[in-house]
Amino acid sequence: MIAFFLFVTATFRPPAPTVGDRITIDFQKPVVLDRSEHYEIVSEQGKRVVIRTFEPKPFTISGTVGDVPFQGLTVPIRSVLRPKDNLTPAPLKPPIAEPYPNLPFVLIAIAALMAIGAWTAVALLDQPEAIAQPAAPPAERFRDAVTHARTWSQLADAVREYLAVTTLTTTEVLDRNHSVTVAEVLRQGDLEKFSPWGAQAGDFRALKMRALELIPEEPVAEAVAA
């Protein structure tokens, strides 16, 4: 659209602007627009100015083109409202809820599992090697088992295990004169385990002491005088 006012000619676009549109106006010479409350000057460069308005009605601009002042140049504004619009706002629709992304939680869970696995591996690899404890001598184990025996069968089991470990022959047992003790311990243990009447009456404490005599005495080295 081309507008004429005395010697001022201007072309603006869009040809039918609406409220809020940026309106570009080209003049034949450099222009300086006057400030106004009816429009906003967006930019002003040489022969071209860009303005806009938020009032739904035509407005006029004024200023200076070259050395010639002008005023009353009308810029039409097309309303976007329908005729006789009652200006009732459209009903608002509730916002659509977007599903929360699960990917961050999956990544956090994977990172946590990897960290737990790494710390577990470090803890397992950092443990000192277990030092094997030397096995107690048969005599010491036998003495401990006899001391803690509370029944005839427990005492019999301790004697059997000791005889099996030390591989005492019948001759050795008889030589130590403990055949009676061994026989009594084993018999009482079998009676307690298998007889419906249980073991016979006897001095359990005294038999435990006699059983400990199965342990051979350690040889004592004789001192040799220099």
Between the ranges 86-95, 125-134, 144-153, 171-180, where is the mean pLDDT highest? 144-153
Predicted pLDDT of residue 91? 77
Average pLDDT over the chain reads: 78
pTM for this predicted structure: 0.36
Q: What is the DSSP string of the chain?
A: -EEEETTEEEEEESSS-BTT--EEEEESS-EEEPP-TT-EEEEEETTEEEEE--SSS-EEEEEEETTEEEEEEEE--B--SPTT---PPPPPPPPPPPPPPSHHHHHHHHHHHHHHHHHHHHHHHTSPPPPPPPPPPHHHHHHHHHHH--SHHHHHHHHHHHHHHHT--HHHHHHTT-HHHHHHHHHHHHHHHH-TT-SPP--HHHHHHHHHTTSPPPPPPPP---
Predicted pLDDT of residue 178? 52
The gap between the terminal CA atoms of the chain, to the nearest Å, is 139
pLDDT in tens, 44-91: 998 899 999 888 888 889 899 888 888 888 888 887 767 666 667 667
pLDDT in tens, 193-204: 888 888 788 888
Residue 174 has pLDDT above 60, yes or no: no
